[in-house]
């Protein structure tokens, strides 16, 4: 671990794909290379690695540094809302702060009303849909994505957690595949990087699908469509929850008269807005 942390530190990498420091990243790589479950920490920190184990650790750490691949793509997995999620370069690496809101059952915003149905737009690995089904008893989730390759990964994650019966995957352009359906919650972590900013992203983002990141000149192309259709897809009393990265000011300028609530998260993360169904009817 010491060796891995010092090598990662010296390499001046970007963290932000589910880990936020060299120590976290070293933990993910070392435990994976040695086949040690994360629950074995902290005792495992005193165990000694054998020759072949050390070589596996060194090879992974060197790939992380040389190729600037985020560790989750090297290990093929990460954790979201306490659940293990398979990832491949067909999907964005899960890291949305929306995990915390799901763990809280969308409270206090639901005011004690049960959540029976959820629509997730842009499911990627399926992490948000899986977390909703795992944390909200009895909920039914429709999870849509434009990317067929992403939906294949999401299907494997549903099977991994035995949730195929409660989550339906739909290949769909925003609301296209769920016309006429209404939900208690519409939730999305859509692409929101303005096109001109794509080239300036750290190299770690190059392995993620551009479709998961880029959203037109302002970054709001997909957010616009989600907001525009929300009132047709929310039940009375429903909630729209959308992550917008660092575009809070742009959103506030674009929808000046819309009552928006910006959520606070204990574990940090990008800007996430919440809009009530009755307010979505006035989206201009």
Ligand X SMILES: C[S@@+](CC[C@H](N)C(=O)[O-])C[C@H]1O[C@@H](n2cnc3c(N)ncnc32)[C@H](O)[C@@H]1O
Question: Per CB under 6 A, which region of 51-59, 69-77, 133-141, 166-174 contacts ligand X?
Answer: 166-174
Does 187 engage in binding with ligand X (CB under 6 A)?
no
Size of the site for ligand X (CB under 6 A): 24
- 274: its two tokens: 């919440």
Q: Strand 77-80 to strand 83-86: parallel, antiparallel, or no bridges (unpaired)?
A: antiparallel
d(CA 63, CA 50): 20
Q: For ligand X, which stretch binds (CB under 6 A), given 43-51, 118-126, 134-142, 227-235?
A: 118-126
- If the CB atoms of residues 24 and 221 are measured against ligand X, the closer one turns out to be 221
DSSP string covering 163-221, please? -TTTEEEEE-STTGGGTT--EEEEEE----B-GGGGGGS-GGGGGS-HHHHB-TTTS-H
Looking at the Cβ atoms of 61 and 143, the one nearer to ligand X is 143
Comparing CB distances to ligand X, the nearer of 59 and 149 is: 149
> Does 134 sit near ligand X (CB under 6 A)?
no
Applying CB under 6 A, the span of 6-14, 68-76, 145-153, 228-236 interacting with ligand X comes to 145-153
51 CB-near residues (< 8 Å, 6+ apart): none
Residue of 189, 205, 223, 238 interacting with ligand X (CB under 6 A): 189
Check: CB of residue 120 under 8 Å from CB of residue 144. Answer: yes
Burial 154-193 (b: 16+ CB within 10 A, else e): beebbeebebeebbebeebebbebbeeebbbbbbbbbbbb
The pairing of strands 183-188 and 234-245 is parallel
Stretch 194-213: interaction string toward ligand X, x if CB under 6 A: -----------------xx-
Among 19, 78, 96, 231, binds ligand X (CB under 6 A): 96
Residue written as token pair 């910006």: 262
Does residue 157 touch ligand X according to CB under 6 A? no
Nearer to ligand X, 27 or 190 (CB): 190
CB-nearer residue toward ligand X: 119 or 280? 119
Nearest distance in Å: CB 51, ligand X:
37
Our finding on whether 18 is near ligand X (CB under 6 A) is no
């Amino acid at each position: 671990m010491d060796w891995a942390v010092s090598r990662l530190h010296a390499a001046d990498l970007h963290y932000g794909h589910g880990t936020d420091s060299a120590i976290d990243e070293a933990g993910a790589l070392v435990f994976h290379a040695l086949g040690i479950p994360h629950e074995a920490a902290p005792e495992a920190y005193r165990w000694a690695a054998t020759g072949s184990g050390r070589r596996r650790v060194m090879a992974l750490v060197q790939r992380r540094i040389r190729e600037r691949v985020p560790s989750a793509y090297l290990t093929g997995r990460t954790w979201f809302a306490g659940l293990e999620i398979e990832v491949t370069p067909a999907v964005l690496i899960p890291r949305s702060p929306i995990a915390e809101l799901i763990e809280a059952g969308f409270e206090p915003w639901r005011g004690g009303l049960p959540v029976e149905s959820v629509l997730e737009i842009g499911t990627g690995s399926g992490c948000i849909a899986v977390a909703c089904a795992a944390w909200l008893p009895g909920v039914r989730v429709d999870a849509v994505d434009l990317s067929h390759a992403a939906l294949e990964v999401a299907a494997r994650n549903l099977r991994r957690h035995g949730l195929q019966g409660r989550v339906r995957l739909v290949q769909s352009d925003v609301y296209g595949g769920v016309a006429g359906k209404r939900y208690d919650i519409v939730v999305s972590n859509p692409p929101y990087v303005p096109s001109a900013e794509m080239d300036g992203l750290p190299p770690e983002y190059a392995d993620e699908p551009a479709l998961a990141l880029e959203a037109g000149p302002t970054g709001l192309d997909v957010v616009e469509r989600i907001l525009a259709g929300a009132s047709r897809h929310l039940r009375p009393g429903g909630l729209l929850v959308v992550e917008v990265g660092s575009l809070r000011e742009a959103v506030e300028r674009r929808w000046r008269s819309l009552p928006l609530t910006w959520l606070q998260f204990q574990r940090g993360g990008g800007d996430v807005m919440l809009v009530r169904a009755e307010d979505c009817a006035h989206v201009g």
